[in-house]
């Protein structure tokens, strides 16, 4: 077993094991090396935050392209400052590696790898397992491992810990005594300029009491607000609650938006605006063409999967998924209806999708509802589908027959808008010129209320607002 050098002269609680005291001292003295495993939307901002706070930081990434881009000082994550990445890589505190070769130098590992679900919506933890195995090879006394990937309660203790333990026991290391393990969910909100990684309160729950102390200290190095919970399962469940809360509330307004359209005369958007004037007990969520991103459409399924093992049905999650997954179909019905008002066959019609990123002002297209909308249009023989997204130069859509079609983004010119039969706002990017869209497109299906500022009655007449209460077939309310 490696010997731990004595902690530097710091005012540390005497009760902490020597390994914890050593790590605490290294953290407080900014001598600890931080290792971030997986440099994606979560890992890269985190690595930049620690490197920017003065810590030697090693980013470990498997994707060759991402490694090359970072080593060339090029950033690929929307919310990260390009010049910060460039300076940190050039000046040295942030080193990018393709292997765990320097794993032995790392004091604190953050695991930020993907946690997808399988086709049957079961958790796929292969990335987490592989990262844990690699870290286990480099586990030394005085190390802290923090899992940040979103997952079901129990993953840290039942999946990560046994993998570390297998290797650690051979070296005579015990968790909570010689090395430490915690879970801390990531809470970034891509595209939200008001909150960056360092501004968002952090939640953490560790295995063992000393683990809690070192995890809290490690996180305090970049965040002033660290909320400690009693164990990793609470922190894992807390993250899922955040995501399920969003999914359920979005489903609620999506369902009521459809009711408003069915009955006519009441806009769900106006209803939400009015409800938002209540200063307590209400939080606005908005209808849309379906959920997207790597989190909200995926993460609730982790809990449903876990609940099934206990003969428990998570009905809210199931119901919310059903409503939200129906929204692209609902949007496509509105598009087809809009085409039907024009003297053109579906097979000759041209649809211009505005926005394929899963949310406004980001370039991330993972699980974007745009893919389902385009695929459904093609199934209805609307072959002529183009898109414009200033954040996404080209977009690959998986078609029903299993083939992938890659489409380039078109420029949003008056001609492109005039040429289409229907323009569909799928993503509300700030770059879009609402006035130009309303003026030049023959008809617009607005799934995000992105054209809310258009008052001209002639232009408004061309807009089908999803949830706007204008599609009534019978007597309006
Ligand atoms: N994107 C978000 O907004 C967000 C927000 C909160 C939580 N999360 C969660 O954070 C986790 C990561 O999400 P992301 O969006 O950053 O994913 P991502 O796909 O953008 O990044 C993950 C990176 O990990 C790399 N990787 C995979 N296995 C590796 C290994 N063994 N060693 C080194 N690198 C490895 C991949 O190549 C990839 O670049 C997921 O669990 C996700 O649910 C994401």
Ligand 1 centroid – CA 67 distance (Å): 14
Q: Which residues of the chain carry a pLDDT beneath 50?
A: 1-12, 472-474
What distance in Å separates the CA atoms of residue 246 and residue 241, rounded to the nearest whole number? Answer: 9
Ligand 1 centroid – CA 127 distance (Å): 9
What distance in Å separates the CA atoms of residue 39 and residue 37, rounded to the nearest whole number? Answer: 7
- Residue positions annotated with a catalytic role: 295
DSSP assignments along 286-317, one per residue: ---S---SSSTTTTHHHHHHHHHTTT---HHH
Give residue 269's pLDDT.
Answer: 98
Give residue 476's pLDDT.
Answer: 53
Give residue 470's pLDDT.
Answer: 77
Ligand 1 centroid – CA 65 distance (Å): 15
What distance in Å separates the CA atoms of residue 220 and residue 225, rounded to the nearest whole number? Answer: 7
Pocket test for ligand 1, best of 36, 42, 145, 365 (most atoms within 8 A of CB): 42
Pocket test for ligand 1, best of 39, 103, 187, 294 (most atoms within 8 A of CB): 294
Atom 41, ligand 1: residue with shortest CA distance: 149
φ, ψ of residue 37 to 5 degrees: the values are -100, 115
Ligand 1 centroid – CA 439 distance (Å): 41
The ligand 1 atom nearest the CA atom of 43: 16
Residues 6+ apart with CB under 8 A from 442: 342, 418, 420, 421, 422, 462
Atom 11, ligand 1: residue with shortest CA distance: 149
Residues 6+ apart with CB under 8 A from 433: 412
Same-fold call for 18-230 versus 243-465: yes
Q: Is 477 exposed, middle or buried (0-12, 13-18, 19+ CB in 10 A)?
A: exposed
What distance in Å separates the CA atoms of residue 289 and residue 321, rounded to the nearest whole number? Answer: 13
Residues 6+ apart with CB under 8 A from 161: 175, 181, 207
Give residue 8's pLDDT.
Answer: 43
Ligand 1 centroid – CA 220 distance (Å): 22
The ligand 1 atom nearest the CA atom of 364: 1
The ligand 1 atom nearest the CA atom of 188: 5
Q: Is 98 exposed, middle or buried (0-12, 13-18, 19+ CB in 10 A)?
A: middle
Atom 1, ligand 1: residue with shortest CA distance: 41
Where in the chain are the domains? Answer: 18-230, 243-465
What's the chain's length in residues? Answer: 477
Other beta carbons less than 10 A from residue 224's beta carbon: 9
Angle among Cα 118, 120, 126 to the nearest 5 degrees reads: 25
- 367 touches 325 (CB < 8 A): no
Residues 6+ apart with CB under 8 A from 40: 66, 77, 112, 114
Q: Would you call 37 helix, strand, or coil by DSSP? A: strand
Q: Tell me which residue has tokens 């993250």.
A: 239
Name the residue among 172, 231, 216, 230 with its Cα closest to residue 13: 216
The ligand 1 atom nearest the CA atom of 149: 41
- For the 18-230 domain, the top CATH level (class) is alpha beta
Give residue 16's pLDDT.
Answer: 85
* pTM of the predicted protein model: 0.92
- The strand ranges marked E within 360-414 are 384-388, 394-398, 404-408
List, chain by chain if needed, residues with CB within 6 Å of any ligand 1 atom. 37-43, 60-63, 66, 112-115, 127, 130-131, 149-150, 186, 188, 190, 294-295
Topology classification of domain 243-465:
Rossmann fold (3.40.50)
Give residue 402's pLDDT.
Answer: 85
In the structure encoding, which two tokens stand for residue 466, read together?
């999803």
Give residue 196's pLDDT.
Answer: 79
Element (H, E) at 424: strand 422-425
Residues 6+ apart with CB under 8 A from 445: 331, 334, 335, 338, 422, 423, 424, 425, 463, 464, 466
Ligand 1 centroid – CA 252 distance (Å): 29
- Torsion angle, CA of 185/191/192/193, rounded to 10 degrees? 120
Give residue 14's pLDDT.
Answer: 52
């Amino acid at each position: 077993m490696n010997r731990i050098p004595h902690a530097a002269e710091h005012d540390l609680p005497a009760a902490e094991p020597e390994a914890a005291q050593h790590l605490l001292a290294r953290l407080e003295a900014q001598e600890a090396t931080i290792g971030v495993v997986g440099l994606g939307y979560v890992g890269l901002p985190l690595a930049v935050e620690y490197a920017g706070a003065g810590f030697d930081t090693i980013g470990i990434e498997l994707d060759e392209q991402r490694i090359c881009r970072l080593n060339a000082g090029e950033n690929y994550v929307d919310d990260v400052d390009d010049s910060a990445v460039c300076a940190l890589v050039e000046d040295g505190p942030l080193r990018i590696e393709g292997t765990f070769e320097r794993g032995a130098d790392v004091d604190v590992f953050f695991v930020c790898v993907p946690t997808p679900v399988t086709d049957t919506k079961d958790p796929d933890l292969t990335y987490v397992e592989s990262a844990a195995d690699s870290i286990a090879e480099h586990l030394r006394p005085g190390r802290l491992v923090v899992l940040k990937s979103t997952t079901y309660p129990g993953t840290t203790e039942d999946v990560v810990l046994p993998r570390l333990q297998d290797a650690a026991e051979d070296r005579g290391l015990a968790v909570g005594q010689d090395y430490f393990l915690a879970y801390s969910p990531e809470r970034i909100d891509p595209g939200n300029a008001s909150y960056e990684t360092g501004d968002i309160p952090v939640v953490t729950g560790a295995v063992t009491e000393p683990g809690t102390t070192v995890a809290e200290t490690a996180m305090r190095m970049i965040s002033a607000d660290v909320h400690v919970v009693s164990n990793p399962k609470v922190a894992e469940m807390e993250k899922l609650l955040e995501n399920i809360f969003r999914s359920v509330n979005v489903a609620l307004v999506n369902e009521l938006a459809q009711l408003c359209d069915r009955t006519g005369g009441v806009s769900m958007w106006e209803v939400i605006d009015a409800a938002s004037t209540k200063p307590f007990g209400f939080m606005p969520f908005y209808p849309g063409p379906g959920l997207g991103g790597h989190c909200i459409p995926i993460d609730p399924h982790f809990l449903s999967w876990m609940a099934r093992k206990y003969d428990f049905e998570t009905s809210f999650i199931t119901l919310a998924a059903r409503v939200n997954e129906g929204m692209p179909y609902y949007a496509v019905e509105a598009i087809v209806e809009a085409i039907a008002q024009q003297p053109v066959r579906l097979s000759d019609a041209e649809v211009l999708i505005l926005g394929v990123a899963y949310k406004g002002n980001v370039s991330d297209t993972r699980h974007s509802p745009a893919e389902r909308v385009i695929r459904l249009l093609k199934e209805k023989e609307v072959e002529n589908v183009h898109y414009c997204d200033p954040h996404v130069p080209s977009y690959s859509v998986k078609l029903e027959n299993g083939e992938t079609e890659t489409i380039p983004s078109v420029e949003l010119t008056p001609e492109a808008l005039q040429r289409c039969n229907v323009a569909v706002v799928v993503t509300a990017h700030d770059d879009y010129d609402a006035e130009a869209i309303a003026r030049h497109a023959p008809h617009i299906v607005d799934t995000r209320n992105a054209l809310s500022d258009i008052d001209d009655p002639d232009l408004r007449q061309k807009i089908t607002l999803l949830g706007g209460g204008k599609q009534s077939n019978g007597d309006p309310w």
